[in-house]
């Protein structure tokens, strides 16, 4: 960033004020229409979208916007089915909010309006370019990125203090150091039973990805067209996680539920989550901070993000685009970010409130350069299920690492073969 | 054996038998408490914050009746009252629908003679064997096409009649005396009049049982409701519980417990008030098959 | 020659049965037929549907994963039915004795309460009871000096756990049915046998059992149909895992149909489920006709 002289600062703030004043006097349109928005999220997204729609209605008072928000309580597969069901019935919404995992699954079916030209407009100039690049499929961009989430290690500072253990470094902790920290934080009672865990080995695809990435590998190959499960580094990662559970005893066996409630109650010291956990942590008054995931060979973490798309056959593409502009605006992103709706895709939507909690919140953006998107092939639902099934069995000790990776590899290759047959 | 010795022996066995009786009852009581433990835990958890949830030893009785969680449920992103209303509406409509359609059909099968009657009844019985999974796909696809998804009445429509209901009422009717009905028939009364004036009043116990069983079943539907009702405004309570559990079950557990406690209230009350009918109905379906 | 009266009766018969019949045809028969039709297709209106004949069934029968899941479902059904019916009978026998009526009501209520609660709710509570390390059951086990059990995270134990929760949920129903049946056994016979100092087990076998046999058959059939359809309990407790250890056909069907949007394949799975139900019911009817005196 160029050096900002005091004079330039005065000028630019003057310009900002003028722009804000001009923006306040929004152009009003008399257009009448009804638009439906189908998106996903929790309380933060609900509040953000509602506010965005209210602002949109200032410019378009005669346009009714109908919003439906899916909480994604059972994974993205069901959301894909829901959306496809809407298209199949000939009743799609006009604007869809969805996440990168589903981008290809939808784009491959030609559901969306191409947005390459739309994205060149000024209002999108401050979106991180890597996000826009990831929103393209087959050379066509169909999504306007919104917030994003990367996985960090969230830790309970109060528990660290009580145990007299130093906080993890912001970046660069090694796997072995992490293991030792987790062991130091695991508490046992007189009989040797664990009453507090140092870490939760994740039970979700998205949360466990950094462990592979920081070992320089991934579960799928680079262009997401086949399995990479036979890579010895994948097995190494799985073995490390397995040992955390069964040898070091710092984590429970991953089950059907996540351990967020236990983390909030102080019964797990560290978990791998994204920025969305801020909502709950603040509500529970948790003294929490974040650190970058521990590194074995490569500094990396996984990123997942959301985007808005417009249905190809929408009746009013112009109004839909105007709505998308509002839904992805600076204000909306800032509001959502503050409430834990993900890190804003626009750099300047980062507010002091966002940076206030957790204490190292600036780390989210600091790690952006070395994030790798979560593998999202067109058959994502199947891939995720296959992986989690074998991963769960391996973590439970029901399947050996070698058997599990071989079986997962075979099933994944099968699934990709079927995908190619269908022309996906 | 002398009479006195016989008397003593009999008394001893009777005493032993009574002791055994009491032992068995004691075991039953213990088991009964065990059956209820999950409910107690649910209830106790609904009055505690999440930080207390995993406190060991687990608590089965609430420390205080702090309604904070209950209030939070009403304030949460889930329109709880609306969802409650949906569940109530659907359960009532389905119960009413089944009372009407099943009783009418049962009358036909129990009292009337016509060609194809037994075949038709068997066809209905077949319905007892089809799991929800085999009928839901076409209904889902069909509803999607006509816009009946996300409509509570769509779910209600599916269950306006039931093979079980027809079976239950018919079995009961077969045990009822026909004398009055046959007399009325001799007098030239129409079947409709006979049904309305004579048969129906006799059916009260069966109808009560059917109503309560149907209400409870419909109240508890999860799979069908989840497939057909996606939007929060049209959800029923079991599906809303999924939403309350949050993104990958990370939601506030105490709120979920409070919401479940509130959801249990109608069916538990209904059962307590009318358990006689429920027991009768259940027993009837088992005995008379 | 059908008299006017008979014709009027036939008319009345069909009219009375019409509302139920129409609803039944629309919401049960038609969907079942459509599902059977769908099972022979690859259905995807956007990417192109086509007929695939027996391909879906072939896939089901040759995929070791789906066969394993089929086996799980059958095993679960066997265990759950045995547990529910046997325990229901035992508890009914235990309850079938002289005691104050308020006590009987209370006990019956306690056993029946789990029946009226939604399976989803019950499973949510049980998943906390059965958690490995912070769970209620293990806490008490460890207090008693026993090692904790990996109720839901070990492949073998997980199956036992879901059976246990299913029995907890449903046994009350069978207790009520059997209790009513037991109370229908003629007192005179039982007392006569008692006078002859017949041992209790003999009384049960020779007198009680034959009288309640039809009811027992009904219970087994009813329990089987229920067990084959269990869905939300398993999903909430174990998600079908670990791996596929507890996955049932109903879960596979939902996963394929609503998770992967493979409608045709999901339809074939639900047809297989129905065929199994029909086979089991038919087998039990045959057994009852041969061994049970009506």
Q: For residues A251 and B276, what is the distance between their CA atoms, to the nearest angstrom?
A: 50
- Does C181 reside within a domain? yes
- pLDDT for C294 equals 52
Number of domains in chain C: 1
Reading chain C (294 residues) residue by residue, the pLDDT tens digits are 567 878 888 888 899 999 999 999 999 999 999 999 999 998 877 777 888 889 999 999 998 889 999 999 999 999 999 999 999 999 998 888 878 888 888 898 899 999 999 998 999 899 888 988 778 888 888 888 888 888 988 888 999 999 999 999 999 999 988 988 888 788 888 788 877 777 777 878 878 888 888 888 888 988 998 999 899 899 889 988 788 889 999 999 988 888 777 889 999 999 999 999 889 888 888 887 877 655
Overall CATH class of domain A31-150+304-367: alpha beta
Read off the pLDDT of residues B43-84 as tens digits, 9 standing for 90 and up. Answer: 888 888 877 777 767 778 887 888 888 888 888 778 899 999
Residue A399 near residue A238, CB atoms below 8 Å: no
Strand, coil or helix: A268:
strand
In-domain check, residue C36: no
* C-alpha dist (Å) from residue A224 to A59, A206, A219, A404, C12: 42, 15, 9, 20, 66
Interface of A with C in 378-397 (CB under 8 A): 379, 381-382, 385, 389-390, 392-393, 395-397
The HSE-up count of residue B105 (CA atoms within 13 Å, CB side) is 31
Chains A, C: CB pairs < 8 Å: 94
- Supply φ then ψ for residue A77, to 5 degrees: -55, -45
Q: How far is CA A78 from CA A198, B48, B197, B258, in A?
A: 33, 33, 51, 27
CB–CB of B195 and C6 under 8 A?
Answer: no
Contact B248 A85 (CB under 8 A): no
In this prediction, residue C241 carries a pLDDT of 76
> A148 at the B interface (CB within 8 A)?
no
Instruction: Tokens for B35, please give them.
Output: 């059956």
- Tell me the chain A residues in contact with residue B253 when contact means C-beta distances shorter than 8 Å: 261
Looking at the partner chain, which of A82, A204, A261 has a beta carbon nearest the beta carbon of B253? A261
Q: Which of A134, A93, A87 is nearest to A110 (CA)?
A: A87
Give the residue numbers spanning the domain of C71. 62-291
* pLDDT at residue A346, as a whole number: 81
Instruction: State residue C259's pLDDT score.
Output: 77
- Inspect the interface and report whether the beta carbons of A91 and B50 lie closer than 8 Å: no
Do B249 and A258 lie within an 8 Å CB cutoff? Answer: yes
Predicted confidence at residue A10, as pLDDT, reads 35
Name the C residues in 227-246 with CB < 8 Å from any B CB.
228-229, 231-232
Task: Select from C117, C181, C269 the Cβ nearest to the Cβ of B286.
Answer: C181
Mutate to test the interface with A, among C38, C130, C134, C151 (most CBs of A within 10 A): C134
Residue A220, helix vs strand vs coil: strand
The DSSP symbol for C95 reads: H
A406 and C CB contact within 8 Å: no
DSSP state of C207: I
| Encoded tokens for C236 | 């909430």
- Cα separation, B120 vs B15, in Å, equals 56
Hey, are the CB atoms on B101 and C116 less than 8 Å from each other? no
ipTM: 0.85
Which residues belong to CATH 3.40.190.10 in chain A?
A: 31-150+304-367, 152-302+374-421
Q: DSSP E strands: which ranges in C162-228?
A: none
Give the global pTM.
Answer: 0.85
Residue C48 lies in a domain: no
CB C267 within 8 A of CB C249: no
**Position C254 in a domain:** yes
In this complex, do A398 and C260 lie within 8 Å of one another by their Cβ atoms?
Answer: no
Which pLDDT score, from 0 to 100, does residue C292 have? 65
Question: Is residue C154 assigned to a domain?
Answer: yes
pLDDT of residue C136: 86
Q: Residue A402 above 50 pLDDT?
A: yes
Contact call for B57 and C139, based on CB within 8 A: yes
With an 8 Å Cβ cutoff, are C46 and A84 in contact? yes
Mapping DSSP to helix (H, G, I), strand (E, B) and coil, where does residue A252 land? Answer: coil
What's the whole-number average pLDDT of chain A?
Answer: 86
What is residue A39's three-state secondary structure?
Answer: strand
Strands C41-42 and C50-51 turn out to be antiparallel
CB contact under 8 A, A381 and C259: yes
pLDDT above 50: residue A424: no
CB contacts < 8 A, B to C, total 256
Cβ of B147 and A91 within 8 Å? Answer: yes
Q: How confident is the model at residue A107 (pLDDT cuts 50, 70, 90)?
A: confident
Q: Which residues of B touch A99 (CB under 8 A)?
A: none
Cβ count near B67 (within 10 Å): 12
Is residue A69 within a helix (H) or strand (E), and if so which, with residue range? strand A63-70
Neighbouring chains of C at 3+ CB pairs within 8 Å? A, B
Q: Find the CATH number of the domain harbouring C157.
A: 1.10.3720.10
Which tokens in the block code for residue A37? Answer: 């928005």
Contact call for A381 and C155, based on CB within 8 A: no
Count of other CB atoms within 10 angstroms of residue B64: 7
Contact (Cβ atoms closer than 8 angstroms) between residue B168 and residue B210: yes
Cβ-contact B99, B278 below 8 angstroms: no
Q: Are B249 and A73 within 8 A, CB to CB?
A: yes
Residue corresponding to tokens 């609306």: B82
pLDDT tier, A352 (very low <50, low <70, confident <90, very high otherwise): confident
Q: Which residues of chain B have pLDDT under 50?
A: none
Sequence length of chain B is 289
Q: What is the mean pLDDT of the segment spanning A361-385?
A: 88
With contacts defined as CB-CB under 8 Å, which chain C residues touch A393?
Answer: 155, 241-245
Rounded-to-integer distance, Cα C247 and Cα C264, Å = 20
Question: Which among C244, C283, C249 is positioned nearest to C61, based on CA atoms?
Answer: C249
More confident residue, C268 or A129: C268
Q: Which CATH class is domain A152-302+374-421?
A: alpha beta
* Structure-token match 């109370």, residue found: C183
Nearest Cβ partner for B246 among A42, A89, A91 = A42
Q: How confident is the model at residue A368 (pLDDT cuts 50, 70, 90)?
A: confident
Q: Tell me the nearest-neighbour CA distance from A396 into chain C, angstroms.
A: 6
> Which member of C23, C263, C267 has the closest CB to residue B160?
C23
A37-64 pLDDT, tens digit each: 999 887 778 888 989 999 999 989 999 9
**Residue A193 near chain C (CB below 8 Å):** yes
**Residue among A108, A142, A146 at smallest CA distance from A312:** A142
**Lowest-confidence segment of A129-143, A222-236, A396-410, B141-155 by average pLDDT:** A129-143
Q: Which of B53, B144, B249 has its CB closest to that of A265?
A: B53
| pLDDT beyond 50 at A2 | no
Can you spell out the DSSP letters for chain B?
Answer: --HHHHHHHHHHHHHHHHHHHHHHHHHHHHHHHHHHHHHHHHHHHTTS-HHHHT-SS--SS-SS--THHHHHHHHSSS-HHHHHHHHHHHHHHHHHHHHHHHHHHHHHHHH---TTHHHHHHHHHHGGG--HHHHHHHHHHHHHHHT-TT-HHHHHHHTSS-HHHHHHHHHHHHTS--HHHHHHHHTT--HHHHIIIIIHHHTHHHHHHHHHHHHHHHHT--HHHHHH--SGGG--HHHHHHHHH-GGG-S-HHHHHHHHHHHHHHHHHHHHHHHHHHHHHHHHHHHT-
Cis omega before residue B57 (within 30°)?
A: yes
Quote the radius of gyration of chain A (alpha carbons, Å).
23
- Percent pLDDT > 70 in chain A is 93
Q: Is residue C18 part of a domain?
A: no
- Please check the confidence at residue A18 and state whether its pLDDT lies above 70: no
Of all residues in chain C, the one with the smallest CA distance to A386 is C243
Banded pLDDT at A423 (limits 50, 70, 90):
low
Residues of C in contact with B282 (CB under 8 A): 173, 176-177, 180
């Amino acid at each position: 960033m160029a050096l900002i002289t005091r004079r330039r600062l005065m000028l630019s703030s003057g310009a900002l004020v003028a722009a804000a004043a001009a923006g306040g006097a929004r152009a009003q349109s008399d257009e009448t229409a009804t638009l439906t928005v189908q998106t996903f999220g929790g309380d933060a997204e609900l509040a953000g979208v509602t506010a965005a729609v209210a602002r949109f209605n200032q410019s378009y008072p005669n346009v009714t916007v109908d919003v439906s928000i899916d909480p994604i309580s059972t994974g993205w597969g069901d959301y894909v089915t829901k959306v496809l069901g809407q298209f199949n019935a000939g009743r799609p919404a006009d604007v869809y909010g969805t996440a990168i995992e589903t981008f290809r699954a939808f784009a491959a079916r030609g559901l969306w309006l191409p947005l390459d030209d739309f994205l060149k407009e000024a209002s999108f100039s401050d979106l991180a370019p890597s996000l826009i690049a990831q929103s393209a499929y087959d050379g066509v961009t169909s999504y306007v990125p919104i917030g994003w989430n990367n996985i960090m290690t969230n830790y309970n500072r109060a528990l660290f203090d009580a145990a007299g253990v130093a906080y993890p470094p912001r970046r660069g902790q090694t796997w072995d150091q992490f293991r030792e920290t987790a062991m130091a934080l695991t508490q046992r009672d007189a009989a040797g039973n664990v009453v507090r865990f140092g870490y939760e080995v994740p039970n979700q695809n998205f949360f466990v990805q950094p462990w592979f990435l920081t070992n320089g590998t991934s579960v799928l190959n680079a262009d997401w067209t086949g399995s990479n499960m036979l890579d010895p580094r994948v097995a190494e990662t799985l073995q490390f996680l397995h040992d955390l559970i069964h040898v070091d005893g710092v984590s429970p066996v991953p089950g059907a539920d996540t351990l967020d409630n236990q983390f909030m109650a102080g019964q797990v010291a560290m978990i791998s989550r994204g920025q969305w956990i801020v909502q709950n942590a603040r509500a529970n008054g948790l003294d929490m901070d974040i650190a970058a995931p521990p590194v074995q060979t490569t500094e990396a973490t996984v990123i997942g993000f959301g985007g808005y798309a417009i249905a190809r056959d929408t009746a009013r593409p112009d109004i839909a685009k105007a709505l998308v502009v509002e839904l992805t605006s600076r204000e909306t992103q800032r509001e959502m970010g503050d409430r834990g709706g993900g890190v804003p895709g626009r750099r300047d939507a980062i507010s002091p409130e966002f940076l206030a909690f957790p204490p190292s919140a600036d780390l989210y953006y600091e790690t952006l350069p070395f994030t790798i998107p979560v593998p999202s092939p067109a058959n994502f639902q199947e891939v995720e299920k296959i992986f989690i099934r074998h991963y769960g069995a391996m973590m439970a000790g029901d399947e050996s690492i070698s058997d599990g990776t071989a079986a997962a590899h075979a099933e994944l290759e099968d699934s990709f073969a079927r995908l190619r047959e269908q022309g996906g | 054996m002398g009479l006195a010795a016989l008397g003593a022996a009999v008394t001893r066995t009777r005493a032993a038998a009574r002791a055994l009786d009491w032992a068995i009852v004691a075991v039953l009581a213990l088991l009964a408490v065990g059956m209820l433990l999950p409910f107690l835990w649910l209830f106790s958890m609904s009055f505690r914050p999440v930080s207390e949830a995993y406190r060991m030893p687990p608590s089965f009785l609430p420390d205080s009746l702090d309604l904070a969680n209950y209030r939070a449920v009403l304030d949460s992103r889930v329109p709880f009252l609306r969802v409650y209303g949906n569940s109530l509406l659907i359960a009532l409509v389905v119960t009413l629908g089944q009372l009407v359609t099943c009783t009418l059909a049962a009358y036909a099968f129990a009292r009337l003679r016509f060609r194809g009657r037994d075949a038709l009844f068997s066809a209905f019985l077949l319905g007892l064997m089809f799991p929800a999974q085999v009928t839901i796909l076409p209904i889902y696809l069909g509803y999607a096409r006509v816009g009946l998804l996300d409509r509570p009445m769509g779910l209600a429509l599916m269950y306006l009649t039931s093979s079980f209901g027809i079976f239950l009422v018919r079995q009961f009717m077969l045990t009822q005396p026909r004398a009055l009905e046959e007399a009325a028939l001799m007098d030239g009364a129409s079947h409709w009049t006979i049904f309305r004036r004579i048969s129906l009043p006799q059916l009260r116990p069966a109808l009560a049982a059917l109503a309560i069983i149907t209400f409870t079943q419909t109240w508890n539907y999860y799979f069908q409701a989840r497939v057909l009702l996606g939007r929060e405004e049209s959800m029923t309570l079991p599906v809303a519980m999924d939403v309350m559990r949050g993104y990958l079950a990370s939601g506030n557990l105490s709120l979920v417990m409070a919401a479940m406690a509130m959801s249990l209230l109608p069916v538990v009350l209904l059962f307590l008030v009318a358990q006689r009918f429920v027991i009768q109905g259940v027993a009837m379906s088992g005995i008379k098959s | 020659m059908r008299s006017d009266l008979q014709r009027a009766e036939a008319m009345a018969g069909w009219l009375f049965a019409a509302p139920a019949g129409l609803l039944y045809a629309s919401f049960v028969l038609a969907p079942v037929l459509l599902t059977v039709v769908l099972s022979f297709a690859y259905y995807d209106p956007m990417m192109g549907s086509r007929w695939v004949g027996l391909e879906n069934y072939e896939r089901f029968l040759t995929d070791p994963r789906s066969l394993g899941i089929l086996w799980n479902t059958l095993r679960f059904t066997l265990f759950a039915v045995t547990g529910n019916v046997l325990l229901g009978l035992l508890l009914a026998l235990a309850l079938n004795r002289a005691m104050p009526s308020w006590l009987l009501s209370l006990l019956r209520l306690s056993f029946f309460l789990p029946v009226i609660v939604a399976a989803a709710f019950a499973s949510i509570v049980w998943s906390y009871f059965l958690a490995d390390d912070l769970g209620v059951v293990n806490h008490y086990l460890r207090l008693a000096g026993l090692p904790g059990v990996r109720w839901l995270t070990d492949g073998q134990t997980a199956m036992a756990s879901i059976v246990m929760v299913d029995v907890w949920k449903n046994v009350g129903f069978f207790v009520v049915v059997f209790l009513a049946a037991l109370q229908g056994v003629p007192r005179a016979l039982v007392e006569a046998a008692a006078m002859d100092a017949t041992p209790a087990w003999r009384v049960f076998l020779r007198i009680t059992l034959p009288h309640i046999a039809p009811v027992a058959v009904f219970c087994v059939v009813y329990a089987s149909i229920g067990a084959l359809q269990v869905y939300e309990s398993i999903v909430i407790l174990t998600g079908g895992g670990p791996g596929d250890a507890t996955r049932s056909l109903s879960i596979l069907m939902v996963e394929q149909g609503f998770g992967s949007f493979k409608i045709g394949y999901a339809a074939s799975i639900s047809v297989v489920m129905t065929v199994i139900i029909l086979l089991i019911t038919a087998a039990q009817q045959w057994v009852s006709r041969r061994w049970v005196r009506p």
